[in-house]
Amino acid sequence: MLIDTYGRVATDLRVSLTDRCNLRCTYCMPE
């Protein structure tokens, strides 16, 4: 189980192999 500095439990951990993701999701494109 992974918990961040705010005490939130990370249930889905995304590991990026490149510095730019090719998926247009809110994870990579917050705006």
Cβ–Cβ < 8 Å for 16, 3 = no
Mean of the pLDDT values across residues 4-30?
68
Query: Is the model's pLDDT at 6 over the cut of 70?
Result: yes
**How many CB atoms sit inside 10 A of residue 21's CB?**
13
Question: Per the confidence metrics, is the pTM higher than 0.85?
Answer: no
- Strand partners for 3: 9
**3 state DSSP class of 2:** strand
Confidence of residue 4 (pLDDT cuts 50, 70, 90): confident
Flag whether pLDDT at 16 surpasses 60: no
Distances (CA, A) of 1 to 4, 12, 16, 17, 27: 10, 10, 19, 21, 20
> Is pLDDT at 29 greater than 70 in this prediction?
no
Phi-psi region of 9 (alpha: psi -120 to 50; beta: other; left: phi over 0): beta
